[in-house]
Amino acid sequence: MGRLVVVSNRVPSSSDRQQPAGGLAVALQDALSHGEALWFGWSGQQIAEAEASNRKPSEETVDNVTYATIDLTHAEFDGFYQKYSNGILWPLCHYRAGLMDYSRKDREVYLTVNHLFAQQLRPLLRPDDIIWVHDYHLFPLGQALRDVGITNPIGFFLHIPFPPWSLMKALPGAERLMHSLESYDVIGLQTEDDARNMNDGLEQCGVQTRGQVFPIGIDPASFAAQAKACEDDFDVQRLQQSLRGRPLVIGVDRLDYSKGIPERFHGYEAFLKRFPEHKGKVMYLQIAPVSRGTVEEYRRLKQDLDETAGRINGMYGDFDWTPIRYITHPVPRHLLAGFYRLADVALVTPLRDGMNLVAKEYVAAQDEEDPGVLILSHFAGAAPEMEDALLVNPHDADEIADALHKALTMTQSERQERWERLKPDVWRVTAGSWARDFIEQLVRVERG
């Protein structure tokens, strides 16, 4: 196999690489460790228009991987990243067409930046490279690479859901987007639903290529080891002592409207109202670091959550008990593993989610003698693989309340049985196997 070239919107900075904060960097660690590799994308830096004309990628090689990054101008960052990717494609792909704030100008910037990526990447490519493009920021990159003469195998993986064509076509230019996908040799999606939706769209647009399912996973063995090793960590102990014997319910999400955090708060409120025997006897910790904080919709969401948490704490709390501990800054990954292990219940209730790795991490982190209970939304991509969780509809506060009561009163033997049935899939489909399966398909293309 030739060199693996990964292209994503962001390339992790050197500090992120030392302590990968989840997501793509963790998932690709294994794939990037075999042979020579190149990772290309945006540096995370913005520059003035005047500095853009003689832009060149800056490169840094660490062991076998070269990280090549380019800067974006303020206007490119705004139109490509904030507006088109996160203000249009993100809500639409999460079935929230009503939140989509479309403008033709932003679409042009999006296409221009995809062409810029292709032009800047081209001189770095070798004839035997295989190219793997990631996520919605770069839907048209395959086409843009073909336009500048690249004939190498190119694959595309979409980390987020793909909506039904009847919804997707609300996007002006959706047909063109579907046609641009024809440039890819392999297209990967998280779930059967996503593949069905995309393939239906491709068919309706008369495009021949088809998407396949490659569900993403975590590195369960190392996550489990980290969680166990963390039991005696000072901060994990601090959290445990602060519980004073009360069970811990945990939620861990980027602060994003797709994660259903307000709905979860309402579910917890319904639980306190309907099952008052738990009042003062349970602790709910929600960790939700601010993400995309400069996008208006995310600012509104944070304000809503701040208010709802404050209201619930004011209404149900007591002078010695706070119902919700709500944190909007990130928590280091190793501590997160320890917190998951300590938690009796995890609330993972997205309204839509490509996969949701938190659900898998929670299962991996449990103590096999005394595992906790996962409450999981039907609308997480992970749900079809995790039917032994307590599956809920996140729009139904009473269903969340019932599931919380059930989880907190479940016998140890039922918790063990459920966890034993959840475990095999988490261990079978890992980050490593996901990347290997995808790359194998691409290599097959390379070999004709």
What positions carry a catalytic annotation? 159, 353
- DSSP string covering 76-91, please? HIIIIIIIIIIIIIHH
Task: Provide, rounded to whole angstroms, the least separation between the CB of residue 316 and ligand ADQ.
Answer: 24
Comparison of 22 and 247: residue with beta carbon closer to ligand ADQ: 22
Q: Output the CA–CA distances (angstroms, integers) from residue 422 to 23, 253, 416, 426, in the order listed.
A: 21, 21, 10, 7
Question: Who's near 395: CB < 8 A, 6+ residues apart?
Answer: 263, 351
- The amino acid that residue 104 corresponds to is R
Task: Report, in Å, the least distance between residue 400 CB and ligand ADQ.
Answer: 18
Q: Tell me the closest approach of the beta carbon of residue 34 to ligand ADQ, in angstroms.
A: 20
Nearer to ligand ADQ, 2 or 289 (CB): 289
Handedness of CA 410, 415, 421, 427 (dihedral sign): positive
Task: Report which of 108, 120, 56 is spatially closest to residue 83, judged by C-alpha positions.
Answer: 108
Residues 167, 97 contacting (CB under 8 angstroms): yes
Angle between helices 357-365 and 220-229 (to 10 degrees): 50
Residue tagged 């079809």 (tokens): 384
CB of 101 to ligand ADQ, least distance (A): 20
Smaller CB separation from ligand ADQ, 116 or 252: 252
User: What's the closest the beta carbon of residue 123 comes to ligand ADQ, in angstroms?
Assistant: 30
CA-to-CA dists, residue 319 to 85, 268, 316, angstroms: 45, 19, 10
Q: How far is the CB of 283 from ligand ADQ (least distance, A)?
A: 17
Closer Cβ to ligand ADQ, 146 or 334, answer by number: 334
- Binding interface with ligand ADQ (CB under 6 A): 21-23, 159-160, 216, 252-254, 287, 289, 330-331, 336, 353-358, 361, 381
CB-nearer residue toward ligand ADQ: 165 or 257: 257
Tokens of 205: 């647009």
Structure tokens at 229: 């090793």
- Using DSSP's 3-state secondary structure scheme, residue 45 falls into strand
3-state helix/strand/coil string of 174-240:
HHHHHHHHHHCCEEEECCHHHHHHHHHHHHHCCCCCCEEECCCCCCHHHHHHHHHHHHHCHHHHHHH
Q: Are strands 283-287 and 248-252 parallel, antiparallel or unpaired?
A: parallel
* Residue 153: strand, helix, or coil: coil
Percent helix, strand, coil in the chain, to 5, is: 50, 20, 30
Residue among 32 and 357 whose Cβ is closer to ligand ADQ? 357
CA-to-CA dists, residue 245 to 94, 108, 160, 281, 313, angstroms: 39, 56, 38, 9, 20
Closest residue to bound ligand ADQ by CB:
22
Q: How far is the CB of 32 from ligand ADQ (least distance, A)?
A: 16
